[in-house]
Amino acid sequence: MTIAAPDMDVGPDEDVTPLFDRFVFVQSRRGYRFGIDAVLLARHVLAGPHGPGLEVGAGSGVVSVLLAGWGFAGPLTAIEIQPAMADRARRNAAANGVADRVAVIRADARDPAALPAGARFARIFSNPPFFKAGSGRANPDPERATARHEKTLDMDALLDLVRDRLAPDGVASVLYPAAREGEVLARASARPLSVVRVVPAIPAPGAEAEVVLLDLVHGRGRVCVHDGPVPMQGR
């Protein structure tokens, strides 16, 4: 469902999507559009420890805006490489009244200069590109292709950022296809990071998990808890 929002700055190739009868989000009509993954990640992060947070690959800012609107305790920084997406994230933060709590940075998260030197975050979270570069069919739309395939942010780069920017006692939360869970565990251990919690998300009762939410902390060999599944619903 989309709505018109005359009080918002909406481009001719954009529309506005309402969420939970409270939030509104500008997004591209033909480019990348957020889905239930963003809601799952926001709810997961909200239920964990709070503190200064960093969203990596923020897209149109949905996760950070939801968190700020739901009362997440801590300033949020949202970093996004695509200029049009970062611009939407800024407008969405303003439209939902949380611009004072969500700082949007248009930059490559892999660039050490993108964030203040020495800055560490109690929470890092990301809904990163799901698919490896060169795998499957590339989307012809550049915005969707960058959001879906690891063209600019692969798993190694994301985990390096977690290692370098997560506070010593912080928690990072990432969302990946269930088929890549083992890959996350192996690559995290090499940093060294530990996956301490795995939450599968299922489309229907009894179905196989499509995606998993994984919590990471510093150190190797920590106990990993596998929680029961959560439903992929909530819009």
Distance CA 119, CA 108 (A): 16
Per-residue pLDDT at 32: 87
Q: What is the mean pLDDT of residues 58-62?
A: 96
Cβ atoms of 215 and 162 within 8 Å: the answer is no
Q: Determine, yes or no, domain membership for 18.
A: no
DSSP string, the chain: --B--TTS---TTEEEEEETTTEEEEEESSS----HHHHHHHHHHHHS--SSEEEES-TTSHHHHHHHHTT-SS-EEEEESSHHHHHHHHHHHHHTT-TTTEEEEES-TT-GGGS-TT--EEEEEE----B-TTSSPPPSSHHHHHHHB-SS--HHHHHHHHHHHEEEEEEEEEEEEGGGHHHHHHHHHTTTEEEEEEEEEESSTTPPPSEEEEEEEESSS---EEPPPEES---
Distance CA 104, CA 25 (A): 15
Q: Determine, yes or no, domain membership for 163.
A: yes
Per-residue pLDDT at 136: 59
Q: Determine, yes or no, domain membership for 138.
A: yes
Q: Determine, yes or no, domain membership for 80.
A: yes
Q: Determine, yes or no, domain membership for 30.
A: no
| Band (90; pLDDT cuts 50, 70, 90) | very high
> Taking all residues of the chain, what is their mean pLDDT, rounded to a whole number?
90
Rounded alpha-carbon distances, angstroms, from residue 104 to 65, 67, 89, 232: 11, 14, 7, 27
Q: Determine, yes or no, domain membership for 105.
A: yes
Q: What is the mean pLDDT of residues 141-146?
A: 55
Per-residue pLDDT at 232: 85
Residue percentage of the chain with pLDDT more than 90: 78
Distance CA 98, CA 42 (A): 15
Amino acid at 160: D
Q: Determine, yes or no, domain membership for 10.
A: no
Per-residue pLDDT at 152: 75
CATH of the domain at 161: 3.40.50.150
Domain that holds residue 44: 35-231
In this predicted structure, the answer to whether residue 234 has a pLDDT above a threshold of 80 is no
| Band (130; pLDDT cuts 50, 70, 90) | low
Q: Determine, yes or no, domain membership for 12.
A: no
Total number of domains constituting the chain: 1
